[in-house]
Amino acid sequence: GMASDRTNIREVSMLLLSFMSDEVALWLIDKETYGPKLLSVFQTGLKDADKRVSVMTLKAFASVASKLADNFEEMLQFESLVPLMLRALTIACGQGQDDIVVEVLEIVDELSRGKKSIVDNHVEEAINSLLAITNIEGVSDDIRDTAIGLLATLMQFKTDKVMASPRVQEVHHLAFRTIVAQVQSHPQEAEEKSGCDLLSTMAVHAPSSFQQSARITVEMMASPEPHMRAAGVLALGVIAEGCADEMRLLVEPMLQHVRKVLADQSQLVKRYALVALSHFSDDLGDGFLAKHMGSIVSELLPILKGDESNEVLVSSAATVLERMASNAEKEVLQPLIKPVLIEIVQAIRLHTSQNHPKAAADLIASVGALAEGAEEDFRPFASETIELLRQLWAPANPISVRGRAMEAVGMIAKAIGKESFLPYVDQAISTGVSALNPNDNDCETQMYGLYLLQGVTDALEVDIGPHIDTFAGTLVVMLKETKSVETKKKRDSILPTGPDFEINIPRAQDDSDEDSDDKRDDEDDEDELIESDDTEDDIGVRHVTDVRTGECEKLTAAIELLKQMCKYSPLGMKSFLKDIYKVTGEELVDNQDYTVRAASYSLLADLIKAGHKLAEFFKEMKDRSSQRWVNWVSECVDELSQELLWTGTHQFDVPTSESAVLAYAKIMGIPSKFSSSVVDDAQKLIKRILKGRTACQGYMSADSQLSAYGLGRELIEENKEAEKIANAKGEQEEIPILEAATSLMVSLARRKGVNFEKKFKRIAPLLQHLVAKGQDMEARALGARGFAEASLNLGAAAQPYVADLRPVLFQLIQEIEDKQKANAQGRDLAPLTKPIYTAYWSSIWCLGILCTVSSVEMKTSYPQMSSLFLRLLDAPILLEMPDHRFRMMVKDNVAFATARMMRADSDSVPMQSLLPKVLDALPMRGDTTELEVVTNAVVALWKKREKTLLSMLPKVLGAAARTLAVAATVASDGKPPAESKGLREEGRVEIDNEGREALVQMCSEIIGEARTSGQLPTLLSGLQDGERKALEQILSSRQS
C-alpha cells in the first residue's frame, strides 16, 4: 500500500508541475539555480518504473517545453531528456493516454522546427519511435496522424539527417500505406490527410525519391483493387509539386496512366484522377497542362455526360476543364471549341434539371473560360451560348448558377468584342445593375453583377460612356454603405511589433563624392519621410474598417470596375470622380483587408489620371472647366502623395506597400505642375527603395530585395554575396514590387527639371545585375525594361553604362533561344512560359533603346544585331510563343529596335535588307505603342534623303498608306478629335496629331517630287490597289 501511495504522490506531483508550466518556465531563466534541479526531476520521472508516473512526467516536461519552444538557449539544457521523452511516448501509447500522447507529439513537432533545436542530435531516435508508434496495433487515428505529421516536419527541417537514416525507405513506404488506408477510411478527403502531407514533403525536400515514388504509383494504378488505383493516382498528383522538373521529362507516360484511370469504372478512382490533374495544373504550371488539353479532354467529356450522377465528380471534371481552357493556346482550343461546348451545354441542361447547382455552376464557369481562351474564335458559338446563359439568370435558379451565368456572359462579351456583343448590351447591363440592388440581392449576387459589368465594360471600351450613368451612382452608394464595424487605432498600431518587426532605417555610409548630396539629404531629410510631426488628431489616428470576407471581395470587384470606367471613359465618369475619390480616401484605404487597401490606392491614382485627361480634353475644347480640373488634380496629388509615402514606407504587408508605390508612380507620371515638396519627397522615396528602407521589403526574400534594389550598394560591391543572393529562391508573388520601384524611378526620370543622374549611378549596376542574375525571367525582363526606360529619359548621362549592359542582353537572348531549341528537340520539356518571351522581346526592345542612347558605343554590335533582327523579321514565329499576341509582340519590338538602329546610324547597317522588312511590318498589331517610333524613323530617313529609302519609294508609300488607313479607321468614331486623343485607351493603333501630320507630309512630298520629275505614274504603279485608294483618300482629305 505504501508503494502505491508513493506512486500516486509521484504521479500527482508531476501533474501539479504540468499545471505550473508558466511559473516553471520563468524559473528556468535562472539556469544555474533551478535548471539542474528540474533536469534531475524530469530524468527521474521519465525513468520511473511505473508507467503512469513516466507518462505524467512526459506531460509535465512537454508543458514546460512548450513555453520555451522559441528559446533555444533555455531548451538546450534539457537536450539529454529527448531520448527518455521518446521512450515514454511509446509507452504512453499503450496506456490509453491518447490526449497526452497527441499533445506531446505536437509539442515535439514545434520543438523540431527551425535550423537549431534540441531534437537535432536525436533525429534517428525520433524516427525509430515514430515508426514504432505508427505500427502499434489499435493505435488511434489521432495519434497515428500526429506522428506522421511529425515525420513530415523532420523531413522538412532535418532533411539531411532523415535522408541519411537507414529507415528512410520505411518512412517512404509508410506514406504510401497511409494514403491507401486513408482513401478507404476517408474517401472524400484523403488528399487533405497525413499520408499525402508526408509524401508531398518528401517530394519537395528529397526529389531524388521521384523514381521510386513514380514506380510505386504506377504499380498501384495497375492494381485490381479500386482503392489501390485511387491511392496510386492520388499519390502521383501529390508528388508533382516537389518533383515537377522530373515529371516534366516523363510527362507523356504519366499522362497516359492518368488518362487510363480517368476511364475507370470506379467513381473513386476517377475522382482522384481529377485531383491529380489539378495538382499537375498547380505544380507543373497551368500552361503546361493546357498544352496537352487535346489528349485529356476526350477522357473528361464522358464524365460530364448524362449517365453520370455523381455531382462532385462532374464539378471536379468541369474545374479541370476550366483551368485548361483558360490557359490553352488558341491553336489548341480552336478545334476543340465545338465538341467541348456541345458536351458542356448538354451537361448544364442535365444538371440544372436534376437540381445539381454545384455541378451546373462549375460547368458554366468552364464555358466562360473556354470563351476567354478562344477570344474571337468563340464568335460563331456566342449567340446560342448567351441565350442559354440568359435563361439561367432566372430568379428561380440558385444564386451559384445565376451568378456564374452572369460572370460567363461578361467573359464572352470581352472575348468576342463590341460589334458581336452589341445585341446583348442593354439586357446585360440591365441584369448587372439589377444584381447590384442591395435591397433585393445578397453580397454574392452583387459580386456576380459586378463581374458581368466588368466584362461588358471591357467589350465596349470607350463606348461604355453613355451607359455609365446607369450604374456609377449605384457603385458610389455601394462603397459608402459597406457593412462594417469602425474601430479607432493609432496609426503606428497597425505595424507589427517586437524586435523582429522593427523597421530599421540606418544611416548611409558612403564616402564617394558622387553621393555627397545624398548624405546631406540623409542628414537633413532622412527621417522626414517616415517620422511625422503631425498630431494624433491629424494623421495619428486611423479608422480601420473590418468587413466580412464576402464584402471585401465585392468591394474589390467594385473598385476594379471603377478603374475600368476611368480608363475607358473619363468623360462619362466626370460627374462621379470627386465623390468616388472622397469615399475611397476616407473609408476604403483603411480597410482591414489588404486586397481592398491595395486596390483602393490604385483606384485613387486612376481617378486622378482621369481628372488629368478631363483637364486636357476641356483645354482642347477651350472649355473654362479645364482649369477647375487642373486645380483638383494638383490638390489631390499634394494631398495623396503624403498618404502614399507613408504607406509605401510604413505599411507592413507587401501588396499594400507595393500598391502605394505604384500609385505614386502613376501620379508622378502625370505631366502636371506639383508643389516642389512632392518632387522632393518622390526622390526621397526612391532613395529609400534603393537602400531597402520601404517597410514591405523587410518581409521579402533576399533575392526579391536585391531585385527591388533593396540591399543597396553594400552587397552589390561584394560580388560573392551578391551572386549568392541573386541565385537564392524567392517567392514568386513578391516580384511585383519590382514594377513599383521601376515605375516610380521612370516616372521621376521623365519629369523635367529633376536631377536623376546621381540616382541612376546607383541603379545602373543593380539593373545590370538583375538582367544577368535575376532569379526568374520576369525579374530579368523588368531589369532590361527599367534600364532602357530610365536611360532613354536620361540621354547622354546613361552612356557610360551601355557597354556593360550590352553583352548581358545578348547573353539573355541566347539563353532563351538555346532553351527553345532544347525544348523543340525534346532535350528540355519544361514549359516555355510567358515571362520567358517577355524577357526575350524586352531584351530586343532594350537593344533598340541603347542605339538611341549611345550609337557610338553600340556600333560594334550592329552586325550581330542586324543578323538577329533580319532572322526574326523573316521568321516571326521562330519561337514557340504562348499565343499569337506574343508572336506579334516579338515582331513589333524587333521592328522598333531595327528602326531605332537605322535612325541612329543608317550608314553602318545593311539598309537594303533591313528597311524592306521594317516597312512590311507596318502597321504594327501586337505592340502598337511602338508604332510612332517606327513611323518617325521612316520620316527621318526621308528627310535626310537616305539612299536606300529613295530606291524603294513605292514600298515606303504603301507602308505609310496602310498605317494611316488603320489609324484613320480607329479615330473615325464620331468623337471630337480632342477626345480621341486625350481620352482613348492607351495602346490602341493610333498616331498622335504631330506624328500623323509628319507621315502625311512625307507622302505629299514624295508624290509632289515624283510629279515634278514625271515619275508619278511609275511610282503609283508600284502600289497595291488598296494602298493607292487609301493614299488618295488621305491626301484628298488633307487638301480639303
Residue located via cell numbers 504607406: 647
pLDDT of 826 reads: 62
pLDDT of 682 reads: 56
Q: How would residue 479 be classed by pLDDT, with cut points 50, 70 and 90?
A: confident
Average pLDDT, the chain: 76
Q: For 944-982, where are the alpha helices, taking DSSP H only?
A: 947-950, 953-971, 977-982
Which residue, 789, 860, 936, 884, is CA-closest to 375?
884
Query: Is 60 exceeded by the pLDDT of residue 740?
Result: no
Contacts (Cβ under 8 Å, ≥6 apart) of 351: 311, 314, 359, 360, 363
Between residues 889 and 1018, the one the model is more confident about: 1018
pLDDT of 522 reads: 42
3-state secondary structure of 623: coil
pLDDT of 32 reads: 57
pLDDT of 34 reads: 60
pLDDT of 422 reads: 93
Q: What is the pLDDT of residues 232-251, one digit of tens each?
A: 999 998 888 777 777 766 76
Over residues 134-143, mean pLDDT: 88
Query: Is 80 exceeded by the pLDDT of residue 1021?
Result: yes
Question: How is the chain split among helix, strand and coil, in percent rounded to 5?
Answer: 75, 0, 20
Q: What is the rounded distance in angstroms from the CA atom of residue 448 to the CA atom of residue 405?
A: 9
Contact 539, 490 (CB under 8 A): no
Residue located via cell numbers 511625422: 532
Q: What is the pLDDT of residues 924-950, one digit of tens each?
A: 765 566 788 899 999 999 999 999 999
Angle 739-743-746 from CA coordinates, rounded to 5° = 140
Between helix 311-327 and helix 337-353 the angle, nearest 10°, is: 150
pLDDT of 620 reads: 84
Over residues 742-764, mean pLDDT: 57
Query: Is 50 exceeded by the pLDDT of residue 701?
Result: no
Query: Is 50 exceeded by the pLDDT of residue 629?
Result: yes
Query: Is 90 exceeded by the pLDDT of residue 145?
Result: yes
C-alpha distances (whole Å) from 509 to each of 515, 757, 805 are: 10, 20, 27
Q: What is the rounded distance in angstroms from the CA atom of residue 58 to the CA atom of residue 15?
A: 10
Angle 182-188-190 from CA coordinates, rounded to 5° = 30
Beta strand 541-546 with 485-490: parallel, antiparallel or unpaired?
Answer: antiparallel
pLDDT of 83 reads: 86
The reported pTM is 0.66
pLDDT of 749 reads: 55
3-state secondary structure of 776: coil
Query: Is the backbone peptide bond immediately before 923 cis, with ω within 30 degrees of 0?
Result: yes
Which residue, 234, 219, 240, is CA-closest to 269?
234
Q: For 729-801, where are the alpha helices, taking DSSP H only?
A: 737-750, 757-773, 777-794
Query: Is 50 exceeded by the pLDDT of residue 571?
Result: yes
Question: How many residues appear in the chain?
Answer: 1040
Contact 559, 600 (CB under 8 A): yes
Please report which helix (H) or strand (E) contains residue 488, including its range: strand 485-490
Query: Is 60 exceeded by the pLDDT of residue 729?
Result: no
Q: What is the pLDDT of residues 22-80, one digit of tens each?
A: 555 555 545 555 667 777 777 787 777 777 777 777 777 777 776 666 666 666 777 88
pLDDT of 549 reads: 60
Q: What is the rounded distance in angstroms from the CA atom of residue 147 to the CA atom of residue 725?
A: 36
Lowest mean pLDDT segment, chosen from 429-438, 512-521, 535-544, 851-860 = 535-544
pLDDT of 1022 reads: 84
Express as a percent the part of the chain with pLDDT over 70. 71
Over residues 993-1011, mean pLDDT: 87
pLDDT of 75 reads: 67
Contact 717, 558 (CB under 8 A): no
Which residue, 634, 613, 513, is CA-closest to 569?
613
CA 472 to chain centre: 29
User: Hey, what's the cell of 721?
Assistant: 554575396
Q: What is the rounded distance in angstroms from the CA atom of residue 280 to the CA atom of residue 298?
A: 18
3-state secondary structure of 485: strand
Residue located via cell numbers 520601384: 741
Which residue, 869, 951, 878, is CA-closest to 902?
869
CA 21 to chain centre: 45
pLDDT of 150 reads: 93
Tally of CA atoms within 13 A in the half-sphere of 958 that contains its CB: 19
Query: Residue 255 phi/psi, 5° resolution?
Result: -65, -30
Over residues 727-731, mean pLDDT: 35
Contact 414, 372 (CB under 8 A): yes
Query: Residue 488 phi/psi, 5° resolution?
Result: -90, 135
Query: Is 50 exceeded by the pLDDT of residue 703?
Result: no
User: Hey, what's the cell of 609?
Assistant: 489620371
Contact 704, 737 (CB under 8 A): yes
User: Hey, what's the cell of 173?
Assistant: 513506404
Between residues 604 and 103, the one the model is more confident about: 604
Which residue, 617, 638, 668, is CA-closest to 982?
617
Contact 999, 991 (CB under 8 A): yes
Rg (the chain; Cα; Å): 33
pLDDT of 757 reads: 66
Question: DSSP code of 307?
Answer: T
Over residues 962-975, mean pLDDT: 56
- What's the farthest any 2 CA atoms get from each other in the chain? 131
3-state secondary structure of 486: strand
DSSP sequence for 229-259: HHHHHHHHHHTTTTTHHHHHHTHHHHHHHHH
CA 856 to chain centre: 39
Between residues 409 and 735, the one the model is more confident about: 409
Contact 122, 72 (CB under 8 A): no
pLDDT of 226 reads: 93
Q: How would residue 501 be classed by pLDDT, with cut points 50, 70 and 90?
A: very low
Highest mean pLDDT out of 140-154, 293-307, 481-495: 140-154
Q: How would residue 221 be classed by pLDDT, with cut points 50, 70 and 90?
A: very high
User: Hey, what's the cell of 428?
Assistant: 446585360
Question: DSSP code of 397?
Answer: S
Contact 45, 54 (CB under 8 A): yes
pLDDT of 297 reads: 86
Question: DSSP code of 845?
Answer: H
Query: Is 90 exceeded by the pLDDT of residue 565?
Result: yes
Question: DSSP code of 591?
Answer: B
Q: What is the pLDDT of residues 806-848, one digit of tens each?
A: 898 999 889 888 887 777 666 655 556 777 878 888 899 999 9
Between helix 594-620 and helix 625-650 the angle, nearest 10°, is: 160
Q: What is the rounded distance in angstroms from the CA atom of residue 401 to the CA atom of residue 359?
A: 9
User: Hey, what's the cell of 817?
Assistant: 533561344
Contact 272, 234 (CB under 8 A): yes
Which residue, 597, 588, 676, 687, is CA-closest to 637?
676
pLDDT of 988 reads: 47
Over residues 860-882, mean pLDDT: 76
Query: Cβ atoms within 10 A of the Cβ of 830, count?
Result: 16
pLDDT of 213 reads: 87
pLDDT of 885 reads: 61
pLDDT of 53 reads: 77
pLDDT of 659 reads: 76
3-state secondary structure of 545: strand
Contact 365, 411 (CB under 8 A): no
Query: Residue 923 phi/psi, 5° resolution?
Result: -80, 145
pLDDT of 188 reads: 85
Q: What is the rounded distance in angstroms from the CA atom of residue 1025 to the CA atom of residue 1034?
A: 14
Contact 697, 710 (CB under 8 A): yes
DSSP sequence for 177-235: HHHHHHHHH-TTTGGGSHHHHHHHHHHHH-GGGHHHHHHHHHHHHT-SSHHHHHHHHHH
Query: Is 60 exceeded by the pLDDT of residue 573?
Result: yes
Query: Is 60 exceeded by the pLDDT of residue 865?
Result: yes
Please report which helix (H) or strand (E) contains residue 403, including its range: helix 399-416
Contacts (Cβ under 8 Å, ≥6 apart) of 345: 367, 384, 385, 388
Lowest mean pLDDT segment, chosen from 24-33, 136-145, 704-713 = 704-713
Amino acid letter for position 732: Q
Query: Is 90 exceeded by the pLDDT of residue 361?
Result: yes
Contact 333, 377 (CB under 8 A): yes
Query: Is 60 exceeded by the pLDDT of residue 985?
Result: no
